[in-house]
Amino acid sequence: MDSEDNRETLTRRGLLLGGIVAAGGAAVLATGALAQGTHERGTSAAQSEPAAAQADPYATPPAHAGGHGDMMTVGEVDYARNGFDPFEVLTDWYTGTVSTTPDGRTLRTFEIEAIDKEIEIAPGVMFPAWTYNGRVPGPALRGKEGERLRFVFKNFGSHPHSMHFHGIHSARMDGVPGAGLVGPGEEFVYEFDAKPFGCHLYHCHALPLRRHMHKGMYGAFIIDPDPERHPEEADVARSRLLGTPENAKWQELVMVMNAFDTNFDGGNEFYAVNSIAHAYAKRPIRIEKSRPVRIYLINVTEFDPINSFHLHANFFSYFDTGTSLTPTLKAVDLIMQCQAQRGILEFSYAEHEPGQYMFHAHQSEFTELGWMGMFDVVEA
Amino acid sequence: MTEMATPTGTAPRNWTRWGWFALPLLALAAALAWIVAADPMRGFSDGAPPVEALTFERTILDDTGMHFQVRAGGSEPMTIAQMQVDDAYWLFTQDPPGEIARGATAWIHVPYPWVLADAHMVIALTNTGTAFEHEIAVAIPTPKASPGQLIPQAIVGMIVGILPVAIGLMFYPALRGVGRGGMNFLLALTVGLLAFLLIDMSEDALELAAESAALFQGPAMFILAAGATFLLLMAIGRWRGTPAGLALSFFIALGIGLHNLGEGLAIGAAFAAGSAGLGTFLVVGFAIHNITEGIGIAAPILKEKPPLWSFLALTLVAGFPAVIGLWLGSLATAPQWSSLALAIGAGAILQVIVEVSAYLMRSNDRKPAILLSPPVIAGLIVGLGFMYVTAAFVKI
């Protein structure tokens, strides 16, 4: 019995030690909890200083926030590094170099290079793109109905590429495998007549098509109507023809609706017109209210079946594919386009009061992932 | 003579030995310097983007929006370029701003007007366009450490932890009279219930480990922490002899207490995540489930006369950690720390399983055969079975 008691007391001492260890452990846990508590307080205090404006996410956004409030990408895209500015892309027509063929026709020669290039498609987000002339969308090519067009295409990329034009041309000029699809380091010259007039596009037709499309190989291809060929509607045709005084009255913009799948999961992370998410939301496009607006709108969005364009507080005429001089839709405020569908929008703010007018895809998801912008309508 | 000569003789030899220790360390330093300077891995850089990993460790929802603590685990420092909530980009602030180094954490604050009881999908998009998703299954305000929250949580913790242990211990007077067979049955019952708790905890710990950042090596951390705790407690317990009687009861209470800490963490986390409206049914289930814990604690002291305070102490050691767990868990603790707490508990439970089994053998003339006797087998099965069946009340 004695020895039993002895063992018992000794064991209790052991237990005491165990208790100390347990208490120590509990103390460590408790300190951890305290540390977590203080960290939390520390950060919330730090947060309230720079972001006082966003203290109440449920409050109505202030007017200067342009109607999008806190729902916006953070930061700015470095356009200089990208080598193209979405504000220049809007009006930056590539009309080539003009010469005359032996039979007296106008020949326009365009030089296009396929280049692999990492571009910043949203603030801070880099995308390994395949480009025409280092930009996405590629240059907005523009000529006149009936001209001879020549495209000298050099592939400096790492994959085979081509230029496939939506227009009328021979099979040899189609830009598909076996007809103008060229490997890295190679060159091909596409040549055909500019027809039909309208708002078209070109894109790479190398396979897999889906990848070559969503990597950025597309651009606008505009053929202006020749007024002489359309005597009935010569005035309208002249207003569409770049370089005429009638055309100079218009504010013409090219908008290519595109999107980027940055994590290659078959769904887009960013949507935009002319690549840069929220670019025209953060800095509105200036519109002089006295001048009518014409938008060459092209959809190249991959993965999603359709895209759309909705104009706030206004209605527009729509010329599907731009191949007619009379509107195919009159007085609409929304149109939708499947991939490669395109058209011309014409509208005016002449009767409006100056202010900021929104435009965006009316698929809310696309809008909130970057495809929205503003027109800043000013007196002029 | 020799003893006097030894100290003077060993001193230089010690220096030599330290010198030899320095040799491999210097070689390592030189090798690292060469690797950094010469970069022999350059040939392998084939333009592939860096491997990126981002773990959402804590999520706090309050009236200023959403707040996430994220941990980077990529091959290079990571930059969070944009934050998406429910397929829309939102302004956010990061604290600290800039790149997040491997292993480091940062808080992301998104002023998103989240909707009570809705689900939200959050995506952190890095500068390479990689998306890291985080689902908020049910959005509810994260509980804060305020008296208004701590007291009701403490009450739930007491119902789940302290109440059943106390009730179980109240069987003590009734059980005092049991014979050798009854005693063996009760000890085996204790082992059975502890075995269930061990399985239950290990499962939870490994589940949490899987949620934690890869650099914590969750499963390895669980096994190492549980093993180390087991060995440490065994060593402490057997410092001077094997634990028996009241000491063994305290060890059981400690192990069960750590388990209840884990249970509290789980309930608290369920509060924080909004994934469980903790109904009366669930709380009652926990209470019944844990009654056997009190009986288990009482088993080793049935043949002794412990002082009355010890019952109070045993109850608190075994039950109060549930309250602490609930408090910690409701503050949205990071999964690896919850896993670590559970691992420590699992080690402690394993130690008491060994010690109670040893005690069972010892009190039966050290015959291992007793472990296969009908009362012991019956006790094991009843213990495991009772725990399994009552656990059905609390599993969702």
Provide the pLDDT for residue B11: 59
Q: What is the mean pLDDT of residues B170-189?
A: 86
Measured between its terminal Cα atoms, the distance across chain A in Å is: 109
Task: Give tens-digit pLDDT for B101-115.
Answer: 998 999 999 998 898
**Helix (H) or strand (E) segment spanning residue A9:** helix A2-48
What is the distance between the alpha carbons of residues B168 and A257, in angstroms, rounded to a whole number? 70
Is residue B31 a part of any domain in this protein? no
**Helix (H) or strand (E) segment spanning residue A45:** helix A2-48
Q: What is the mean pLDDT of residues B153-178?
A: 87
Provide the pLDDT for residue B137: 85
Q: Give me the residue from A26, A37, A126 closest to B127, CB to CB.
A: A126
Is residue B23 a part of any domain in this protein? no
More confident residue, A280 or B180: A280
Q: Nearest-CA distance from A45 to chain B in Å? A: 11
Q: Residues B295, B333: one domain?
A: yes
Instruction: List the single range of A61-75, A344-358, B79-93, B122-136 with lowest mean pLDDT.
Output: A61-75
CB contact under 8 A, A7 and B244: yes
Q: Give me the residue from A14, A51, A369 closest to B88, CB to CB.
A: A369
Q: Nearest-CA distance from B2 to chain A in Å? A: 39
Q: Residues B113, B60: one domain?
A: yes
Q: Give me the residue from A17, A72, A370 closest to B239, CB to CB.
A: A17
User: Residue B131 belongs to what domain range?
Assistant: 54-136
Q: Residues B110, B244: one domain?
A: no
CB contact under 8 A, B129 and A13: no
| Residue B204, pLDDT above cutoff 50 | yes
Return the bridge partners of A271, or none.
A259
Provide the pLDDT for residue A38: 35
Q: Which of B278, B277, B331 is nearest to B57 (CA)?
A: B331
What residue type is assigned to position B318 of the chain? A
Structural domains of chain A ordered from first start: 79-378 (2.60.40.420)
Q: Residues B308, B234: one domain?
A: yes
Q: Residues B349, B240: one domain?
A: yes
Q: Is residue A151 within 8 Å of residue A134, measured between CB atoms? A: no
Please name the residue that has the structure tokens 């959809």.
A299
Provide the pLDDT for residue A61: 66
What is the distance between the alpha carbons of residues B300 and B285, in angstroms, rounded to a whole number? 26
Q: Give me the residue from A12, A29, A70 closest to B91, CB to CB.
A: A70
The residues near B369 (Cβ < 8 Å, ≥ 6 apart) are none
The long-range contacts involving B334-337, CB below 8 angstroms and separated by at least 24 positions, are: B334/B57, B334/B58, B334/B69, B334/B212, B335/B57, B335/B208, B335/B209, B335/B211, B335/B212, B336/B57, B336/B208, B336/B209, B336/B212, B336/B213, B336/B216, B336/B218, B336/B221, B337/A32
B279 has a chain A CB within 8 A of its CB: no
Residue B54's SS3 state is strand
Is residue B87 a part of any domain in this protein? yes
Return the bridge partners of A128, or none.
A118
| Residue B72, pLDDT above cutoff 50 | yes
Map A238-276 to HEC letters. Answer: HHHCCCCHHHHCCEEEEEEEEEECCCCCCCCCEEEECCC
Q: Is residue B113 within 8 Å of residue A58, measured between CB atoms? A: yes
What is the distance between the alpha carbons of residues A338 and A293, in angstroms, rounded to a whole number? 23
Task: Band the pLDDT of B251: cuts 50, 70, 90.
Answer: confident
**CB-count burial class (<10 Å; 0-12, 13-18, 19+) for B52:** middle
Q: Is residue A22 within 8 Å of residue B254, measured between CB atoms? A: yes
What is the distance between the alpha carbons of residues A13 and B95, in angstroms, rounded to a whole number? 48
Provide the pLDDT for residue B107: 95
Q: Which of A356, A374, A355, A378 is nearest to A285 (CA)?
A: A374
Collect all residues of chain A within an 8 Å Cβ-Cβ radius of residue B243.
11, 14-15
Q: Nearest-CA distance from A15 to chain B in Å? A: 6
What is the distance between the alpha carbons of residues B296 and B318, in angstroms, rounded to a whole number? 11
CB contact under 8 A, B113 and A57: yes
Of B103, B136, B169, the last residue of a domain is B136
Provide the pLDDT for residue A65: 53
Task: Give tens-digit pLDDT for B306-323.
Answer: 888 999 999 999 999 989
What is the distance between the alpha carbons of residues A235 and A201, in angstroms, rounded to a whole number? 25
Q: What is the mean pLDDT of residues B107-127?
A: 91
What is the distance between the alpha carbons of residues B89 and B82, in angstroms, rounded to a whole number? 7
Question: Cα B272 to chain center, whole Å?
Answer: 17
What is the distance between the alpha carbons of residues A238 and A159, in angstroms, rounded to a whole number? 41
A61 prior amide bond cis, ω within 30: no
B131 has a chain A CB within 8 A of its CB: yes
For residue A327, report the phi and psi dihedrals to the nearest 5 degrees. Answer: -65, 145
DSSP A228: G
Of B136, B165, B189, the last residue of a domain is B136
- pLDDT averaged over consecutive 10-residue blocks of chain A (380 residues)? 42 43 44 38 35 61 61 90 95 96 94 96 94 96 96 96 96 94 96 96 95 95 96 95 96 97 91 95 94 97 95 97 96 96 97 95 94 94
Tokens of A167: 């227009």
Q: Residues B151, B127: one domain?
A: no
Q: Residues B117, B264: one domain?
A: no
Provide the pLDDT for residue B149: 77
Q: How many domains does chain B have?
A: 2
Q: Residues B122, B154: one domain?
A: no
To test the contact with chain A by mutation, choose from B90, B304, B305 the residue with the greatest count of A C-beta atoms within 10 A, namely B90
Task: Band the pLDDT of B393: cuts 50, 70, 90.
Answer: confident
Q: Residues B151, B118: one domain?
A: no
Q: CA geometry: angle at A184 spanning A181 and A188, to 5°?
A: 45
Is residue B1 a part of any domain in this protein? no
Residue A89's SS3 state is helix
B121 has a chain A CB within 8 A of its CB: no
CB contacts < 8 A, A to B, total: 167
Tokens of B384: 């495991």
Is residue B32 a part of any domain in this protein? no
Please name the residue that has the structure tokens 């030599």.
B16
Structure ipTM: 0.71
**Positive or negative torsion for Cα B337, B339, B343, B348:** positive
Q: Give me the residue from A8, A122, A365 closest to B245, CB to CB.
A: A8
Task: Band the pLDDT of B392: cuts 50, 70, 90.
Answer: confident
Task: Band the pLDDT of B1: cuts 50, 70, 90.
Answer: very low
Residue B80's SS3 state is strand
CATH of the domain at B73: 2.60.40
Q: If you compute the radius of gyration of chain A from its CA atoms, what whole number of angstroms results?
A: 30
Is residue B213 a part of any domain in this protein? yes
What is the distance between the alpha carbons of residues B152 and B165, in angstroms, rounded to a whole number? 20
Is residue B13 a part of any domain in this protein? no
Collect all residues of chain B within an 8 Å Cβ-Cβ radius of residue A278.
89
Provide the pLDDT for residue B148: 78
Q: Residues B295, B212: one domain?
A: yes
Considering only residues 43 to 102 of chain A, which have any Cβ-Cβ distance to chain B shorter than 8 Å? Answer: 43-44, 46-48, 50-51, 54-58, 70-75
Helix axes B291-298, B180-211, angle to 10 degrees: 130
Tally Cβ neighbours within 10 Å of residue A113: 17
Of B136, B164, B195, the last residue of a domain is B136
CB contact under 8 A, A57 and B83: no
CB contact under 8 A, A262 and B246: no
Q: Residues B101, B241: one domain?
A: no
What is the distance between the alpha carbons of residues A94 and A113, in angstroms, rounded to a whole number? 13
Is residue B14 a part of any domain in this protein? no
CB contact under 8 A, A262 and B128: yes
The runs of H, that is alpha helices, within chain B are 2-38, 147-157, 163-169, 172-175, 180-211, 218-237, 245-273, 280-289, 291-298, 308-330, 335-362, 374-394
What residue type is assigned to position B26 of the chain? L
Percent of chain B, pLDDT > 90?
Answer: 25
Measured CA to CA in angstroms, residue B168 lies from A102, B162, B248, B296 at distances of: 107, 10, 17, 8
Provide the pLDDT for residue B280: 64
What is the distance between the alpha carbons of residues A263 and A210, in angstroms, rounded to a whole number? 15
Task: Band the pLDDT of B282: cuts 50, 70, 90.
Answer: low
Return the bridge partners of A142, or none.
A222
**What does pLDDT average to over chain B?**
84
Q: CA geometry: angle at A328 spanning A323 and A332, to 5°?
A: 130
Q: Residues B83, B203: one domain?
A: no
Tokens of B140: 């509810």
